[in-house]
Amino acid sequence: MIHDWKMELYWRLPIFLQEAALSLYARRLDRLYYGDGYEGWRQKFNGWRRWSRSEAEAWQNQQLQTVIELAARRVPYYREKWRGLDWKSVRSAKDLYILPLLDRQSIRQNEKAFIAGGLNPESLWLEKTSGTTGTPLKVYWAPSTLPKWAALKDTMIRSAVGVDNGQPRAMMGTRPIMRGRADTPPYWRYNRTWKQLYLSSYHVSQATARLYAEAIQRYGSEWITGIGSALAALAECALQSGVPETPLRRAIVSGDTLLPAMRSSIESFFKCKCFDHYGQNEGVAMAMECLHGKMHVIPGVGIWEILREDGSPCAPDEVGEIVGTSLINDAMPLIRYRLGDYAAWAKDQFCPCGNQQPVIKDLEGRMDDYVITSDGRKIGRISSAFKYPTIHSAQIVQDRPGHAYLLVRPGEGYRSADAKAVSGDILERIGAFDLQILEVPEVPKTQQGKAVLVVRLSERPDMRPAYDNILRNQTVCFNAA
């Protein structure tokens, strides 16, 4: 499942062998993730769920000093980059500003320069990130850390909302478990080891939704997880084509921005609460929504910073870029890593759920979501304009500097004035810009099935075919101005 030739081989197999391959792969992962130390970590993390804010901070600061020392002395990249910097004075999260920020591009140029000296990359576990854009990033983990990482996710994400991996579950992720051009069911593969029904994110339609729902019931899935927009697409197609609701215990989504209309479709069709989760394979900053709908930071993963463009920390309720420092991956320590996502510290930090860890809000948008004006400026942070209640989903498709289409998929109670309001809101931020509104039945996603708010066609030749038809058959189109 890691290399293309393996995928090619997998696709050639008959379905029963594909399922056997998935189950075997899962067994291999289980040996790594549920090996030595898993139980101990699980018990420990269960206790951490009742940690006070100051207990978590004290633990984080102690871990931080170890990570900084390791990075400064044994990681080639930091040894070079921090030369002359007083890294020894970084004793707590608030001292981190002393160190430079790290972006994805610097890692991609030489991933191995981030591996702690003395470790052989061949002996490490390689995770690839599933970035929305560009090539994935390679992240190395020490196999001995994997049980800790697994225990952390099991306790802080799944148990925290009352489900666990022992229960049969359905999943809609980015893996192409069947070829894209395949048009006959089954649109899923069953992984026996994990009792996991892996549903294809790429074959959902009003015609197939019933089959998906029947499979979820037949395989006894008790909860569902995956990309928010994929789950929402399934729920919507099912509701629109009259498929009976399919009750589950929980839905846990991550991977793209969960707009209110998506959440409401998921909750209506699966008759359960939908929880948003923020995290990444790099393991630097993680948060999970609680039963009261608040996003709590998970301190065991890493230290969060939310920063303004000039690098200074944001005030409460002020949206800024998320920067994470990993406290869990000591084979490849990522320090002050710019995640390119946005959030704000909530002003109201109280939550009745009992979890005392920091609450974040307005988690949304990729930093990549910017448009380019005719004078070459990049204008980002326009995603909040999309949160209009009667608009199901929307996207800006930029075909040239200074000009873009605003694709709008109408939701319940929609009037064309609503799209004008959204475009007005966007234009207020951008200034002089030619933005044409286009009402569409569906907003295209990336090839990985992720919803993105801005597509700059010049940088996404892979997505161009998806727009050719839309832009050719402009049925409803008027200038926003």
Q: Which of 146, 259, 331, 351 binds Zn ion (CB under 5 A)?
A: 351
| Helix, strand, coil share of the chain (percent; to 5) | 35, 20, 40
The CB-of-322 to Zn ion minimum distance in angstroms stands at 19
The CB-of-355 to Zn ion minimum distance in angstroms stands at 5
Q: What is the 3-state secondary structure (H, E, C) of 91-102?
A: CCHHHHHHCCCE
What one-character DSSP code corresponds to residue 137?
P
Q: Which amino acid, 456?
A: R
Nearer to Zn ion, 355 or 423 (CB): 355
Q: Which of 53, 88, 112, 292 binds Zn ion (CB under 5 A)?
A: 292
The CB-of-350 to Zn ion minimum distance in angstroms stands at 9
Q: Helix or strand or coil: residue 49?
A: coil
Is residue 357 at the binding interface for Zn ion, with CB under 5 A as the rule?
no
Q: Enumerate the β-bridge partners of residue 54.
A: none
Q: Which of 145, 355, 398, 448 binds Zn ion (CB under 5 A)?
A: 355
Is residue 290 at the binding interface for Zn ion, with CB under 5 A as the rule?
yes
The number of angstroms, rounded, from the C-alpha of 127 to the middle of its chain's C-alpha atoms is 15
The CB-of-285 to Zn ion minimum distance in angstroms stands at 18
N-terminal to C-terminal alpha carbon distance within the chain: 48
Number of residues that bind Zn ion (CB under 5 A): 6
Q: Which of 158, 169, 294, 336 binds Zn ion (CB under 5 A)?
A: 294
Is residue 408 at the binding interface for Zn ion, with CB under 5 A as the rule?
no
Map residues 307-346 to x or -, x wherever contact with Zn ion holds by CB under 5 A: ----------------------------------------
The CB-of-286 to Zn ion minimum distance in angstroms stands at 15
Nearer to Zn ion, 156 or 232 (CB): 156
Whether the upstream peptide bond of residue 186 has omega within 30° of 0, thus cis, is yes
Q: Helix or strand or coil: residue 349?
A: coil
Sheet holding 273-278, edge to edge: 188-191, 196-199, 169-172, 223-227, 250-254, 273-278, 287-289, 295-297, 359-366, 337-345, 320-326, 302-307
Nearest residue to 103 via CA among 297, 255, 301, 321: 321
Backbone angles phi, psi at 282, to 5 degrees: -65, -25
The CB-of-49 to Zn ion minimum distance in angstroms stands at 11
Nearer to Zn ion, 64 or 298 (CB): 298
Nearer to Zn ion, 160 or 177 (CB): 160
- Of 48-56, 293-301, 306-314, 377-385: span binding Zn ion (CB under 5 A): 293-301
Which parts of 110-240 fold into alpha helices (H)?
Answer: 146-153, 209-218, 228-240
Nearest residue to 363 via CA among 277, 423, 302, 283: 277
Q: Which of 353, 379, 421, 466 binds Zn ion (CB under 5 A)?
A: 353
Nearer to Zn ion, 355 or 383 (CB): 355
Task: Give the number of other CB atoms < 10 A from CB of residue 391.
Answer: 22
The CB-of-40 to Zn ion minimum distance in angstroms stands at 26
Which residues make up the interface to Zn ion (CB under 5 A)? Answer: 290, 292, 294, 351, 353, 355
